[in-house]
Structure 1
Amino acid sequence: MRKIESQRAPECLMSSHGNPCFGYFDGPVTSLGLKQFHYLNEMDKPASALARYLNYKQFQFVNIVTPRFVIGVAIADIRYVGTAFCYLYDISKNTLTETTWLRPLGTGYQLTPSPMSGVARMGGRNASISFSIDGGVWRVSIATRSIRAEIALTPPVLSLPMAMCSPTGYSGWTYTQKHNGLKPAGELTINGEPQPLNKALAGYDFSAGYMRRETSWRWASINAHTHDGIVGLNLAAGVNETGCNENVFWINGERHLLGPVHFNFQRTTSAKGGRETQASWRIYSDNGQVELSFTPVNCRQEKMNLLLLKSNFRQYLGYYSGFIIDNFGNKHLLDDVLGLTEDHFARW
């Protein structure tokens, strides 16, 4: 398999000339260098202060998987509004409950622009979520009606995240950092019942930058125990597609950067037994390194159609089967492995 090379992560994403450093990194950058970024408009003039503020977008997501439950937590800042959700999926009952937040114009929430340190939070007296990053290690706090959590996400020894930056649109850029197959440690209580974390796994997503005004992506994610050990997977098509992509496979903490993949699926649903169902997805690469099917069983979805903003968001929970070939030529089989996919359109 063709090896994709990565470079040492710069301290600051921006060069001394205010240009972003593109490519794959062997760890997080400390600063995105937002103030140093030499941002130009479509006519090659310096962007206004308002454009610099409004055109920067950021979101963070954490997925925690236990033998009984799946938890998804996200905070997004799209400047006009801040949004967040926290859902709880009961695997055996196939039920999903959630708490959501919406805050206007930068009020009542915060996100950190550093992938190495800082705090992101949203919520109020009755329910709240927060991510705290210290030295690149993520800690998650959740306080909702059904979930209480204080959890640190610990990577295996010497395991590298997927960290990269790619050009976006005419003069923008997107920095993405993700790490799956992490081991949660701490306390998790669901519906008043303490949950053991010895078999739990987790992953995080930090994405930020000057993204396209109108964009979309497809995404796949796995945190699972298999016969080969602990598997983490992140596959995507959409935002990061100019010269490099964010596709990566972890096996027992070892990172394997992958080439581009295709997502074949139908957005239309059919009725079955009084419920809407969706056909299986096929996710594959042209070089034969990835060949997966995904069968959805539940979905967290949200649609927003406003004057300036549009969002059509669907995150599916379901089961993967197929195989992934790592960069040493080893074939890893998946058989009904629980994971996520996502289909998202945004105008922001």
Structure 2
Amino acid sequence: MTLPAAPASLLGADGQPLFGRYAGQVGRIDWSQLARPYMRGALWRRFHHKRWHYVALCTEQIFAAVAIVDLGWTSTAFAYAFDRGDGDMLANFSQDGLPLVSARLADDAGGTSSFKKGQTHIAVDANGDGSYQLTLRCDYLEIDAVFGPPAAPLLLAAGPIARGSVHATQKSSAMPLSGELRTYREAFKLDGGIASFDYSNGLLARDTEWRWASAHSMELGFNLQAGYFGGNENALWLDGDIVPLAPAHFLYDKKDALSQWHIFTEDDMLDLTFTPEGARRDNRKMLVAASRYLQPVGTFSGWVRGAPDQPKRMVTQLMGVTEDHYSRW
């Protein structure tokens, strides 16, 4: 199944959202002109509009992730660097921002997202040629990275949200990576590695939860989610093409964060075992909000295929992440 090309806008002339899965990059995402039944007032949108820009960097030695999150009424950012050789979390940074000041999220995956508070500065910039630049300065961690263009088209997914309104996300396939990551201990070259990103923009419910899995090589990669967005963003990148996947199931022991995960899709096109090597956790309880966040880092093994009648393609120790996340925001 070939995905249609991404539209220039996710809103039709009548204000109705163009739900579906597409290949390519959409233009500016602006939910202010939604028509009924998805239309919401400006104050509701202020508190329910959630955007994030997440970048993963992977080499044979290092896995790192950086995220900028705009929650509408506040913002936050995090970054970590995991040493695959000794299983050590070299850096694990997070910082809340000032409302309407610290975070500047792009209106689309081709814009600039940034976070600044005190001595902390993070920026994700699109260079206009299909490549991107990541700059990070925070306590005990610095990153200067360039990645792209992607090996295959971006995935665009848009759909309705129960108890919310609408959501859209852009996921990249693998992108060639270069640059340097510096920790308190030493510097690590990123040249020859793989990068990927997740840009998401939606009007979400106050209580939102999901399970997620993502891993990429230049030949294949996948994005899987179960939760608030259903199977809308489930996709397989295979030999330069995007293949839509059915709803995914995530089976693991919630009492043991480093236990194996079993992940499969209902269309018999993906069946994987995920073996964690380490994990980032962040659990918070605030007066008006709460979150429970777990992102294990590890490897996927199993098989995928581009259609139910095609031969299985084996996946062996493909580096990536899973995630179990609940937010009251």
Regarding TM over 0.5, the answer is yes
- Report what 1:346 is aligned to: 327
What secondary structure is seen at the aligned counterpart in 1 of 2:81? strand
Q: Does 1:53 align with 2:33?
A: no
**Which residue of the other structure, out of 42, 67, 75, is the alignment partner of 2:60?**
67
Shift of 1:162: 1.1
Q: Deviations over 1:214-262 (max 9, x none)?
A: 11100111124xxxx6332211111222xx5211222343322222211
Measured in 1, the distance between the counterparts of 2:40 and 2:243 equals 38
- Report what 1:331 is aligned to: 312
Q: Please report the TM-score for the alignment, with normalisation by the length of structure 2.
A: 0.91
Measured in 1, the distance between the counterparts of 2:14 and 2:82 equals 47
Measured in 1, the distance between the counterparts of 2:36 and 2:95 equals 31
Measured in 2, the distance between the counterparts of 1:255 and 1:190 equals 36
Shift of 1:201: 0.2
- 1:61–1:204 Cα contact (<8 Å) kept: yes
Q: Deviations over 1:71-91 (max 9, x none)?
A: 110011112221110101011
Measured in 2, the distance between the counterparts of 1:285 and 1:8 equals 24
Shift of 1:286: 2.7
Instruction: Note the 1:176-187 alignment, pairs <5 A.
Output: 176-187=169-180
- Report what 2:233 is aligned to: 246
- Report what 1:218 is aligned to: 211
Shift of 1:278: 3.2
**Which residue of the other structure, out of 14, 18, 23, is the alignment partner of 2:20?**
23
Shift of 1:13: 1.4
Shift of 1:153: 2.1
Q: Select between 100-109 and 173-182 the one with higher mean Cα deviation.
A: 100-109
What is the number of equivalent residue pairs in this alignment? 326
Q: Select between 282-291 and 62-71 the one with higher mean Cα deviation.
A: 282-291
Percent of matched pairs sharing the same residue: 26
Measured in 2, the distance between the counterparts of 1:73 and 1:297 equals 18
Q: Deviations over 1:148-184 (max 9, x none)?
A: 3332321346x21111101112561110110131112
Measured in 1, the distance between the counterparts of 2:244 and 2:5 equals 15
**Which residue of the other structure, out of 201, 207, 210, is the alignment partner of 2:200?**
207
Shift of 1:29: 1.0
**Which residue of the other structure, out of 255, 258, 261, is the alignment partner of 1:281?**
261
Shift of 1:16: 1.7
Measured in 2, the distance between the counterparts of 1:148 and 1:47 equals 40
- 1:74–1:84 Cα contact (<8 Å) kept: yes
Instruction: Note the 1:79-228 alignment, pairs <5 A.
Output: 79-96=72-89, 97-117=91-111, 119-135=112-128, 137-156=131-150, 159-170=152-163, 172-191=165-184, 195-224=188-217
- 2:150–2:173 Cα contact (<8 Å) kept: no
- 1:17–1:38 Cα contact (<8 Å) kept: yes
Structure 1: unaligned runs, 5 residues or longer: 270-276
- 2:62–2:83 Cα contact (<8 Å) kept: yes
Q: Please report the TM-score for the alignment, with normalisation by the length of structure 1.
A: 0.86
Q: Select between 84-93 and 136-145 the one with higher mean Cα deviation.
A: 136-145
- 1:219–1:237 Cα contact (<8 Å) kept: yes
What secondary structure is seen at the aligned counterpart in 2 of 1:64? strand
Q: Select between 323-332 and 280-289 the one with higher mean Cα deviation.
A: 323-332
Measured in 2, the distance between the counterparts of 1:193 and 1:85 equals 20
Measured in 1, the distance between the counterparts of 2:220 and 2:300 equals 12
- 1:181–1:253 Cα contact (<8 Å) kept: no
Amino acid at match of 1:115: A
Q: Deviations over 1:9-43 (max 9, x none)?
A: 222211222221111122111111233223668xx
Q: Deviations over 1:307-346 (max 9, x none)?
A: 3211100000122221111238242212233221000011
